[in-house]
Amino acid sequence: MRLLHASEVLGDTENLAIARGYAEENDVDAMVLTGNLLDLNGCITPEDAKKVQNAAGFISQSVQTNRPVPLGEMVDWLRKADRADMAQPKLAAEDYFQVAALFDENAGRQYSDMRRTLAAFPGSVFMVPGWRDSKSFFDDLSRYSLHGKMEKVDGLEFAGFGAGGSHTAIPQTRQIDAPTLEAAKFFMKEGPDVVVTHVAPWSHQDFVYAGEGEQRQLVNGGDPTQYATMAACGADLWLYGSTVHGIGASKTTLWNDRGVFVSNPGRLAKNDKTGIGGTFTVIDLEGNGGDVNKNVVQTIAPYIIRGGKVEAVKSFGSLPEIPYDLVKGD
């Protein structure tokens, strides 16, 4: 079985289409996208982002309740309110509603473009949201969503859980609630062969591109809850997203002889200013699920899109093992 793993699409449907074309031409069975699909700059202006933040704060301070009330309920109530003492909060609620609606419209347009870009792919497509995604993900990309679900392909079980949206450019009522602790509970309960998530499980290996060269480096980061989950859930392969880091792969044999393999595809979207981006990984797997053989992951190969074409980059070779003191964070 062959997977194409990408993340950080950031609205770049051009590179997404190139990756899909590569997948079609190279017998890829499934494309896996691990979050941060939206280009937030195309969803909301900095001025509007500040406006909704200010409006949300003003509304929360102005409306006194006997119990915690979600912001969305406050906005709905204020827009219908006919009280002179609520005139200013009512205006703030209307501002919030209009900006949030425009955000939804723009986000929906981007997600719909991605859905159309992937519609022709003959294999499976799995996605989870990242912290730069919004609730519109579940409306426009529901057919591809693996968030909180388990799917079986060629005998291998894939379980997915994305990250919660906390980016300040996303209106609060449109942010996704996906705590890492809930992800941990889900993965431990399901015990899949392949974990599809957005949050890095530990400090991880990256390739950083400098001109035509690549340089490997260890990047401190990741979530300790996800790290603990890795020890407990028994998955052979973790696919996660990466906001700023380059492409990378690693493995650990801390808990068993088989090892746990990790793929970080870097950023699929191109960045015209820095030249960073356009990367993804291709993973070859063996095994029929259940009693998976010891070498379920055969290769994790890095690729980069340059000038509209896909090129293989320097091989990872033998995947490095994460030092125990680094994994623990000591």
Grade residue 185 by pLDDT with cuts at 50, 70 and 90: confident
Count Cβ atoms within 10 A of the Cβ of residue 120 and give its class: 0-12 exposed, 13-18 middle, 19 or more buried.
Answer: exposed
- For residue 217, which phi and psi values (nearest 5 degrees)? -150, 155
pTM of the entire structure? 0.84
- pLDDT for 302 equals 82
The pLDDT of residue 91 is above 70: yes
Token pair in block for residue 144: 């591809």
Residues 323-330 have a mean pLDDT of 34
pLDDT higher at 329 or 295: 295
The structural domains of the chain, with segments of one domain joined by +, span 2-40+110-328, 46-104
H/E/C letters for each residue in the chain?
CEEEEECCCCCCHHHHHHHHHHHHHCCCCEEEECCCCCCHHHCCCHHHHHHHHHHHHHHHHHCCCCCCCCHHHHHHHHHHCCCHHHHHHHHHHHHHHHHHHHHHHHHHHHHHHHHHHHCCCCCEEEECCCCCCECHHHHHCCCCECECEEEEECCEEEEEECCCCCCCCCCHHHECCCCHHHHHHHHHHHCCCEEEECCCCCCEEEEEEECCEEEEEEECCCCHHHHHHHHHHCCCEEECCCCCCCEEEEEECCCCCCCEEEEECCCCCECCCCCCECEEEEEEECCCCCCCCCCCEEEEEEEEEECCEEEECCCCCCCCECCHHHHHCC
Token pair in block for residue 236: 């052979």
Residue whose structure tokens are 């699909």? 37
Count Cβ atoms within 10 A of the Cβ of residue 317 and give its class: 0-12 exposed, 13-18 middle, 19 or more buried.
Answer: exposed
- pLDDT for 242 equals 62
- pLDDT for 6 equals 95
The pLDDT of residue 233 is above 90: no
- For residue 107, which phi and psi values (nearest 5 degrees)? -65, -45
| CA 17 – CA 262 distance, rounded (Å) | 25
* Residue 144 CB partners (closer than 8 Å, separation 6+): 33, 115, 118, 125, 126, 127
Residues 250-256 have a mean pLDDT of 56
Q: Kindly report, residue by residue over 39-82, the tens digit of the pLDDT.
A: 999 999 999 989 988 998 888 888 777 677 788 888 888 888 88
Grade residue 292 by pLDDT with cuts at 50, 70 and 90: very low
Name the average pLDDT for the chain.
80
User: Which residue type does 255 have?
Assistant: W
| CA 201 – CA 231 distance, rounded (Å) | 10
Characterize 165-200 residue by residue with b for buried, 16 or more Cβ atoms within 10 angstroms of its Cβ, and e for exposed: beeebbbbbbbbebebeebbebbeebebbbbbbbbb
- pLDDT for 294 equals 46
- pLDDT for 320 equals 47
- The least confident of 23-37, 85-99, 103-117, 281-295 is 281-295
Grade residue 208 by pLDDT with cuts at 50, 70 and 90: very low
Question: How large a percentage of the chain has pLDDT more than 90?
Answer: 37
* Residue 24 CB partners (closer than 8 Å, separation 6+): 120, 121, 122
Grade residue 115 by pLDDT with cuts at 50, 70 and 90: very high
- For residue 299, which phi and psi values (nearest 5 degrees)? -145, 150
Q: What is the CATH number of domain 2-40+110-328?
A: 3.60.21.10
Grade residue 113 by pLDDT with cuts at 50, 70 and 90: very high
